[in-house]
Structures are given as C-alpha cells and as structure tokens.
Structure 1
Amino acid sequence: MSTENNILVKLNNAGYKQNNKWLVEGVSFTVEKGKIVTLIGPNGSGKSTTAKIALGFYKGIEGQVEKFTNKIGYVPQKISIDWTLPLRVNDFMLLTDKLSDDVVDEALKSTGVYHLKNKNLGNLSGGEFQRVLLARAISKKPELLVLDEPVQGVDFTGEIEMYELIKKISANLNCGILLISHDLHTVMSATDYVVCLNGHVCCCGSPTEVAFNKEYKALFGEQASKTLTIYEHKHDHIHTTDGEIKKN
C-alpha cells in the first residue's frame, strides 16, 4: 500500500470490448479507504462490467487498473443457489472459507442478522438475504468492498437502512466501497463520489454536482435531479431487517 495516499484501486481510461463491441470505455476513478464510490446509470450502461474491470475479472482490457490491495470482498448482482437444499445461514457463511465461530458471529452481528444464524437460507426475506451476503463479504475484513446492487429484493424503507449500514461498515472497517445502484434517490445520501455511466463516463463528482449535471438530467430527467436534492432521511425511527419501521 502506498504511504502517500489511501488509494485502494485506480482505473485510468479503462474499458472492455467483447465481440468487437465496447461494453464500457474511457472510465477513470479511484476508490480510497473510508470512501464510497457509486456507479449509476441505466440498464446496460456498463456498471457491472466496470466493477469487474476493477476486480480484475477480465483479460485484455483497455487502459490501466492499479490495485493496491488484495483484501477484497465482493457481493455479486446474481448468485446461483439451489433453494431446495437445507442450507442454514451458518453453513452458507462457511461454503468457501474456513471461518471461526467468532468471526462468523461478528460478521452476522455487524449486519444485524445474527439471530438468523441457524435459519434455513431459503426462508429468508429479500432484505435478510442481502444482509447475509454482506456479512459474508465483510467476514475477512476487506480493505475494498465491491457491492453490485446490494438492495435488490429490498423494499424502500429497507433500502434506506441498508445504505446506512453500508456507510457504517465503511467507517468501522475503514474500507473503500465501490457500489453499484439504480436507486438514485436514496443511494446519493450514502455516497462520497458518483460516476454516471452510459457506456462511458457521462459525468462524475459529488452527489450534488452529478444531480445538477446536464448529462445526468438527460439520462434520468429533471425530476430525478429534484428528487435527489430534496431527499433527506429522518432518524427518529429504526428499520427492521424486514423493512418495518419502529419508532425510537
């Protein structure tokens, strides 16, 4: 790790071509310790491809990717599971890694699902399952955490709580987070830097800068910008893992 800064991964004019077609090109950004960088854009804009470029999944990419850490956690957008198998949450945590009970317990507690440790994976709600995936990703205390649509299957109130949890994890672990999301109205409040993609970088900067950028408005409309700038989450209540609201 460089002693001059906290950079974990750096993309410089990166891109990837498949079957002579660019999936994404000309992407540049850095992810630093304790910071959250969010990739937004319409479907097919290259968000997941960009994340996989950063992770080193592809060979023969355009541009450069510099990684300054190998301690990486990853939550993919899709995961194939045979839901008919009697697989408990604890078993799922241990599928590919040998983790101690203490490590598993700590990760599950960090994401608020320790009470589900012995529950069948197939009986979890969408929000509970996403929290288990997140627990699995942080179990080895990564320096870089890549989250591809981490709130899918979660209702609106659950989304807000999930983004708050992601911010807390970034602070507690001092890890950098590369986040992919289409939930523009909520994700902006949990983000330090935004990269808006549509096959290339349309615009980038702070959430406010992106919200007012003409390229962003062209993609998502004037109303999206208004929604982003007025969105504010009140903390006079808590959300359960099922998305229910309880007053403090």
Structure 2
Amino acid sequence: MSLISVQDLSVAYGASTVLRGVRLNVEPAEIVTIVGPNGSGKTTLLRAMIGAIAPSKGSIVRRHGLRIGYVPQKLHIDKTLPITVERFLRLTDKIAKAECIQALKQAGVPNLLNRQMSQLSGGQFQRVLLARALTGRPDVLLLDEATQGLDQSGSAAFYKQIEAVRNTTGCAVVMISHELHVVMSASDRVICLNGHICCEGTPAMVASAPEYRALFGSGTAGALALYQHNHDHSHDDEHDHSGPIEREAAE
C-alpha cells in the first residue's frame, strides 16, 4: 500500500484555484522531488499531504498509522533566547537524550547536542530541524525548500544527507525545491508542478521533457550533469562555505 495517495486533488482559495486534478502516490523508501515555478502550488500540495489544508475536490489517503516528519522552509528563533539544541529537540515530545543524539547523528551533526541554537550556522540549523523531524521515526519525511538560504555547496551536502537518511532508516522523502540542478539528482522521481502535474519520471526524463523545458529552459540538463559529477565529493556544511560545485558552475 502507498504511504500517501493523492487522488484528483484540487485546492482553491476563494475564487482562485491553486491545484487541479493532481494525482500521485508516495511509495515506501522513495525520494520524490516536486519542482515548479513560483506560485505553482508546491507548498499548497505539501500542506495538503500533511493535512493542514482541506481539499476542495478529491482526496488524500494516508496509510493507517503513518508517521510524518516535517522540515519547514524556515523557522525563526529569537537570537536572545538561551536554548540548547538538546532542549529544542525535546520541546514538544518527551524523548530521551539518547534519541536526540541518534537523530543528530542521522542528520550528520552528531556534536551539536549542547550547542546554543543561536550559535548555529545556516546549514547546522537546517540539520537540527531535520534531526527534530527524525526524532519521531517517520515513515515519510516532507521537506518544504529546506535549504533556502544555503549556498550551493551547503545545499548539495544537505541533500546528500537526505539520501543517507533514506538509506539507513528506509523512510520515504518528499521534497520541494527550487534548486533544480542540485536536488533532482538526489531523487528517484521528479514531479513537475504548475497548478497541475505537467510531467513526472526519473530526473533525466523530466529534465528532457518538453513541458519541463517550457517552464525552466534547457540549461538545467547541463547543471544536472555537473551535480552528478560532483555528487560524491560534496562536503559537510558545518560551515556554509562555497565548494567545487559552486566554483565549477560559475566557470
């Protein structure tokens, strides 16, 4: 059984229809990336899959007992608030210290437990948000442009970590991203959205699809190949610095 099944979904805000006739399934252990231009309904679709938005038409069926982990686009924490990473991870759930350590390890930042949240770099902060989502041992992770604000190297390292999480935990992943050249190569399946599903398939299939190129042009294919070439050499984003991906892309 699919983890999540979206069936003929339409969502409208007043007289404005944001999504229409969307059909997709999320299967166990797959990485699905949703791409599309601004205003295409990506975040609306993700929120509907979580259950935060009710469909205007159609339905969303979640497997019974499905555990969902959510990594938001951004989260504001007052810089003057003294709160450690451990305390942040335990704010809403009664989880043991050992579980916090394990989640941080899975997120690729095992040494941040006692660090102040205000002292984290952008990349470290997003890794902690990922760890927080992992404390619930999710069957599926939903990420809404979780690397916004990171440089290209930091984004590549984050998405490589997502692959590692999938490989070690077996959870499915659904990601929204505007960083086509980085994220598509980390995906098993890509869905191109523009109010409806324009095309879907493997990253290579979507990158060459006429519907995709009509929205994004043909330049992504070369950038996609560039990312694949550098994929195994992305470095950890402990410090959000530029790396070989960013330098080669600029040449």
- TM-score, normalization by structure 2: 0.90
Cα deviation per residue 1:86-137 (whole Å; 9 max; x = unaligned)?
A: 1111111011111101100100111122222111111211100000000000
Measure, in 1, the Cα distance between the counterparts of 2:234 and 2:221: 26
> Which amino acid in structure 2 is aligned with residue 54 of structure 1?
M
1:128 aligns with 2:124: yes
Q: Any unmatched runs of 5+ in structure 2?
A: 245-251
State how 1:196-211 maps to structure 2 within 5 Å: 196-211=192-207
SS in structure 2 of the partner of residue 170 of structure 1: helix
On the 8 A contact 1:9/1:31 being kept in 2, the answer is: yes
How many positions carry a matched residue from both structures? 242
Residue of 177, 184, 189 corresponding to 1:188: 184
- The equivalent of 1:101 in structure 2 is 97
- The equivalent of 2:20 in structure 1 is 25
Q: CA deviation at 1:56?
A: 1.3
1:241 aligns with 2:213: no
1:153 aligns with 2:149: yes
> Which amino acid in structure 2 is aligned with residue 59 of structure 1?
A
- The equivalent of 1:55 in structure 2 is 50
Alpha-carbon distance change, 236 to 227 in structure 1, aligned in 2, over 3 angstroms: closer
Compare 148-157 and 99-108 and name the one that shifted more. 148-157
Measure, in 2, the Cα distance between the counterparts of 1:237 and 1:199: 33
Alpha-carbon distance change, 236 to 162 in structure 1, aligned in 2, over 3 angstroms: closer
On the 8 A contact 1:195/1:201 being kept in 2, the answer is: yes
> Which amino acid in structure 2 is aligned with residue 167 of structure 1?
E
- The equivalent of 1:77 in structure 2 is 73
On the 8 A contact 1:238/1:245 being kept in 2, the answer is: no
Measure, in 1, the Cα distance between the counterparts of 2:92 and 2:116: 18
Q: CA deviation at 1:10?
A: 0.8
Compare 78-87 and 47-56 and name the one that shifted more. 78-87
Q: Any unmatched runs of 5+ in structure 1?
A: none
State how 1:5-16 maps to structure 2 within 5 Å: 7-16=2-11
On the 8 A contact 2:156/2:231 being kept in 1, the answer is: no
1:42 aligns with 2:37: yes
Measure, in 1, the Cα distance between the counterparts of 2:214 and 2:112: 44
- The equivalent of 2:247 in structure 1 is none
Q: CA deviation at 1:246?
A: 9.4
